[in-house]
């Protein structure tokens, strides 16, 4: 059942408005993937849109690879945005059944328009809430959530739902902004102070889950951890580009929120992690 409650995602309103106005720079940057970039060597980042687009594709690949993606699998991408991860999988692999799920029908419409199957793959885009998955038990080899779990109503419910729809031995791979445990009280304080400005840009965001909380959640859900990789440093070149685009589009408050996220990431207080899990047999 689709949760009909409208989810506020102001940055997607801004993106769609920019796309409609024909902002080609914005379309090239966030028309397919809407997440941070991954640079194997961050010193090589040149600040260009093309460089960022490659880095965004690389981030998707890192997450999918952490989930052990392979030809012939049935994959569910939760919070699929404009379909970038599904497109990437369809380009790289064959004979897959690929499903993108999103709460926002506007994004799904764009995904359906721009992502066509290749390599004997099948693709479908479905509206739904990642915490109430409209799929049968034991139906997927891999469940993905690329840079979106912080929006979901509950990480616990999402993990339970991912576990339910995965086949035994199936995998869950995500990436998320994870605070250092020691700094969590400071982060919570900062989150409260910054809440209005962050929610005006990014909507509801919960970045309170530490690595320890993830470990406990995985264990109680019935997952075994496979990958815990800190890629914070590899994502940092995202910030200057994002701030520039936000300022050029007149979203000064958004640029300020991004600057705060950059600051706490550079200090190592907020880390960018790739995490993957196997459903216990």
Ligand X SMILES: C[S@@+](CC[C@H](N)C(=O)[O-])C[C@H]1O[C@@H](n2cnc3c(N)ncnc32)[C@H](O)[C@@H]1O
For the bound state, the minimum distance from the C-beta of residue 239 to ligand X, rounded and expressed in Å, comes to: 15
Q: Phi/psi of residue 75, each to 5°?
A: -120, 135
Pick the binder of ligand X from 64, 130, 236, 275 (CB under 6 A): 130
Pick the binder of ligand X from 37, 79, 170, 237 (CB under 6 A): 79
Residues in region 33-52 near ligand X by CB under 6 A? 33-35
- The DSSP 8-state label assigned to residue 6 in this structure reads P
Taking contact as CB under 6 A, which single stretch among the options 44-52, 79-87, 163-171, 221-229 is the one that binds ligand X?
79-87
Q: What secondary structure, in 3-state letters, does 116-156 show? A: CCCCCCEEEEEECCCCCCCCCCCCEEEEEEECCHHHCCCHH
Judged by CB under 6 A, does residue 81 bind ligand X?
Answer: yes
Judged by CB under 6 A, does residue 278 bind ligand X?
Answer: no
- The DSSP 8-state label assigned to residue 128 in this structure reads -
Pick the binder of ligand X from 57, 141, 147, 176 (CB under 6 A): 147
As given in the structure block, the two tokens for residue 123 are: 């693709």
For the bound state, the minimum distance from the C-beta of residue 223 to ligand X, rounded and expressed in Å, comes to: 20
- Given the complex with ligand X, which of 160 and 215 has the nearer CB atom? 160
Residues in region 174-213 near ligand X by CB under 6 A? none
| Whole-number Å distance between alpha carbons of 270 and 141 | 30
Distance separating the N- and C-terminal Cα atoms of the chain: 28
Whether 111 contacts 140, CB under 8 Å? no
Taking contact as CB under 6 A, which single stretch among the options 129-137, 159-167, 190-198, 268-276 is the one that binds ligand X?
129-137
| Whole-number Å distance between alpha carbons of 230 and 244 | 26
Pick the binder of ligand X from 31, 84, 179, 237 (CB under 6 A): 84
Judged by CB under 6 A, does residue 129 bind ligand X?
Answer: yes
Pick the binder of ligand X from 62, 110, 151, 243 (CB under 6 A): 151
Whether 42 contacts 236, CB under 8 Å? yes
Judged by CB under 6 A, does residue 152 bind ligand X?
Answer: yes
Whether 273 contacts 229, CB under 8 Å? yes
| Whole-number Å distance between alpha carbons of 123 and 35 | 21
Judged by CB under 6 A, does residue 31 bind ligand X?
Answer: no
Residue among 228, 222, 226, 227 at smallest CA distance from 279:
222
- Residues that bind ligand X (rule: CB under 6 A) add up to a total of 25
As given in the structure block, the two tokens for residue 256 are: 């300020």
- Given the complex with ligand X, which of 5 and 192 has the nearer CB atom? 5
Q: Which positions lie near ligand X, rule CB under 6 A?
A: 7, 9, 33-35, 78-81, 84-85, 101-104, 107, 129-131, 146-148, 151-153
């Amino acid at each position: 059942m689709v949760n009909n409650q409208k989810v506020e995602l102001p940055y997607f309103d801004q993106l769609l408005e920019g796309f409609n106005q024909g902002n080609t720079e914005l379309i090239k940057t966030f028309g397919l993937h809407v997440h941070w970039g991954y640079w194997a060597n961050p010193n090589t980042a040149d600040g260009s849109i093309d460089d960022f687009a490659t880095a965004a594709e690389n981030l998707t690949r890192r997450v999918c690879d952490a989930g052990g993606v392979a030809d012939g699998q049935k994959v569910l991408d939760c919070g699929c945005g404009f379909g970038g991860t599904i497109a990437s999988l369809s380009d790289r692999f064959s004979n897959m059944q690929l499903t993108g799920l999103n709460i926002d029908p506007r994004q799904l419409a764009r995904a359906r328009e721009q992502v066509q199957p290749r390599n004997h793959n099948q693709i479908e885009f479905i509206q739904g809430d990642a915490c109430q998955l409209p799929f049968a038990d034991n139906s997927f080899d891999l469940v993905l959530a690329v840079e979106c779990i912080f929006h979901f109503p509950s990480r616990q419910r999402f993990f339970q739902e991912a576990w339910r729809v995965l086949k035994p031995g199936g995998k869950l791979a995500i990436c998320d902004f994870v605070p250092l445990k020691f700094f969590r009280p400071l982060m919570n304080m900062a989150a409260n102070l910054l809440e209005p400005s962050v929610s005006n840009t990014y909507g509801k965001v919960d970045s309170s889950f530490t690595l320890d909380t993830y470990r406990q959640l995985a264990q109680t859900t019935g997952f075994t951890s496979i990958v815990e990789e800190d890629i914070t440093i590899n994502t940092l070149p995202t910030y200057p580009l994002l701030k520039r685009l936000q300022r050029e589009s007149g979203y000064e408050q958004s640029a300020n929120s991004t600057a705060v996220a950059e600051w706490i990431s550079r200090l190592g207080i907020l880390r960018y992690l790739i995490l993957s899990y196997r459903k216990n047999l």
